[in-house]
A = this chain, B = another copy of it.
């Protein structure tokens, strides 16, 4: 079944996609349907605003990304930015640019993913814009969140001797992307008569196609009474993000290869592709894990925290940012993360 979007028109489509939305947050006073959404300001809190623009062919490939997953991921990556400020996401606006290739059913699938993510994380869709596009799909999401007054955690607060921590594990989303790209190439050659075999690689696909934002880590830190001195989410790769924190905090850092958390499936896949797994973990991107620094006095609290790993420490700026390998060698960290504006956007392997 395929219903042309032109049969509903812009306003009809928006009504169709947003009908039945129940606002969950007290601060969402008025959602979709006017010139602007109206929000109240929760007492004693500050607001956070972040935005992401996703373009077909640059950020996603619809030959292997289902629209529902894409919607889920597009919302979650914005929530991740709000958690990375130590905040709670509350509202999003969703703008879509659609070419004629897309049907009403396609947009229902995309919106189902966005709404699922919003339901899971307690976020309200309060507005947006929908328009035609000459080429492909454009998704622009802005997320509004809040944080207790004065409790936002920035990138610039890391201090010498602070411990460097990451949540979860790294490199899996990038390996998932490699896997999907490989299967796409293989299937193109085979005339679609074989199904890809993803057995034993489910985690990699999940990390690429349906990432989650680390709300649990933010809660755990608050419960343990640990306030990070600096924090950000890992979207472009650990190296790139560490350099941001060190640059903005005017410090250096030492991280240890042996402590970088890597899942078994990531290691196996890197081996298969003849890539250095540490390089993948450092530069792969799209992990949406949290990278943060804590005062050394919090060592015990973070050392025993579920899903958090200590990977190094902050140093004087003169020492630069370095990776210490398993055999004790020191390498300068470079931002080889996925840079969508550089000529070659492929992270360096090896």
Contacts and interface: CB of A to CB of B under 8 A. Distances in A.
Nearest to A57: B134
Most buried by B among A8, A40, A53, A149: A53
B36 A82 contact: yes
Interface of A: 5-6, 8-10, 13, 29-30, 33-42, 45-53, 55-59, 81-82, 84-85, 87, 91, 93, 95-98, 126-136, 138, 140, 142-145, 147, 149, 152, 154-156, 231-233, 248, 339-343, 345
A93 B152 contact: no
B135 A136 contact: yes
Contacts of A45: 41
A342 B5 CA distance: 8
B57 A131 contact: no
Given A41-B41, A85-B35, A134-B135, A10 B339 contact: yes
Given A51-B95, A97-B55, A341 B29 contact: no
26 contacts: A6-B342, A9-B341, A10-B339, A10-B341, A30-B154, A33-B155, A35-B50, A35-B155, A36-B48, A36-B81, A36-B82, A36-B85, A37-B48, A39-B47, A41-B47, A49-B91, A49-B127, A51-B128, A51-B140, A53-B129, A55-B97, A95-B140, A131-B341, A132-B345, A134-B136, A142-B142
Given A47-B39, A48-B38, A50-B35, A341 B81 contact: no
Nearest to A230: B34
A145 B81 CA distance: 21
A53 B131 contact: yes
A259 to B, nearest CB: 24
A127 B58 contact: no
A84 B134 contact: no
A248 B96 CA distance: 24
B145 A36 contact: yes
A305 to B, nearest CB: 21
Given A36-B87, A38-B147, A49-B126, 13 more contacts: A30-B152, A35-B81, A36-B50, A36-B81, A38-B152, A39-B46, A40-B149, A50-B127, A56-B134, A58-B132, A58-B134, A95-B140, A98-B341
Contacts of A91: 49
Contacts of A53: 95-97, 129, 131, 138, 140
A18 B259 CA distance: 37
A155 B32 CA distance: 12
A93 B129 contact: no
B55 A9 contact: no
A6 B341 contact: yes
Contacts of A58: 97, 131-134
A138 B341 contact: no
A38 B142 contact: no
Given A131-B341, A132-B58, A341-B9, A49 B36 contact: yes
B85 A51 contact: no
A48 B30 CA distance: 9
